[in-house]
């Protein structure tokens, strides 16, 4: 594989791993917010109206930003009826085809997300609730997560093409860990 592709794969895999680890800790933030809500609502009898929505935003950031790392690890949902019966090369070929569809889907999703984010920023869009938080921050996180996932799909595509060719990309991250 050409050196720029190898560098791209290593860098994107590294970035996906780091943001995946950051996203992993968002679950603890969400638990803390929900615990605060439970305590203030049931024990202190002072309901905090922002807690549930903040937990929803945190969960959205968790799965959007963590999506690239999940893809990198191979932990995403896959139909195993046919896939498990294929050879490693056959699996890589099928992954190349499905990656092309995923890239198309993510580009469409990104166009919509950017449009929605721009609109949200222009009109100062807020959630219709008592707390009424602005929606721009979570939409910006959504755009970032989609871009990160798109970069990771391209990295995975390069790794699958290399696998079909019978070549390893040194330093690339696979489901079993980095290739040395």
Six-digit token string for 71: 């893809």
If one counts every other C-beta atom within 10 angstroms of the C-beta of residue 88, the result is: 10
pTM of the predicted model as reported, rounded to 2 decimal places: 0.89
Q: Is 129 helix (H, G, I), strand (E, B) or coil?
A: coil
* C-alpha closest to that of 98 among 58, 157, 159, 175: 157
What CA–CA distance (Å, rounded) separates 32 from 79?
A: 35
Q: Where are the alpha helices (DSSP H) in 43-135?
A: 51-73, 80-83, 88-123
What span, in angstroms and rounded, lies between the C-alpha atoms of 31 and 1? 44
Residues 6+ apart with CB under 8 A from 39: none
Number of domains present in the structure of the chain? 1
Query: Domain range holding 63?
Result: 3-76+85-178
From first to last of its 180 residues, what are the pLDDT tens digits of the chain? 789 999 999 999 999 999 999 999 999 999 999 999 999 999 999 999 999 999 999 999 999 999 999 999 887 777 678 888 889 899 899 999 999 999 999 999 999 999 999 999 999 999 999 999 999 999 999 999 999 999 999 999 999 999 999 888 876 765 545 544
């Amino acid at each position: 594989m050409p050196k720029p592709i190898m560098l791209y794969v290593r860098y994107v895999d590294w970035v996906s791993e780091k943001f995946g680890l950051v996203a992993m800790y968002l679950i603890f933030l969400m638990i803390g917010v929900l615990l605060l809500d439970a305590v203030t609502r049931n024990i202190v009898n002072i309901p905090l109206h922002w807690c549930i929505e903040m937990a929803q935003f945190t969960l959205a950031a968790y799965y959007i930003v963590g999506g690239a790392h999940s893809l990198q690890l191979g932990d995403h949902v896959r139909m195993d009826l046919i896939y498990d019966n294929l050879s490693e090369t056959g699996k890589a070929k099928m992954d190349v085809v499905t990656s092309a569809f995923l890239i198309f889907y993510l580009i469409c999703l990104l166009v919509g997300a950017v449009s929605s984010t721009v609109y949200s920023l222009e009109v100062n869009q807020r959630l219709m609730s008592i707390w009424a938080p602005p929606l721009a921050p979570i939409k910006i996180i959504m755009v970032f997560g989609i871009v990160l996932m798109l970069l990771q799909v391209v990295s995975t595509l390069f790794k699958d093409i290399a696998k079909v060719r019978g070549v390893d990309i040194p330093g690339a991250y696979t489901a079993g860990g980095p290739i040395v």
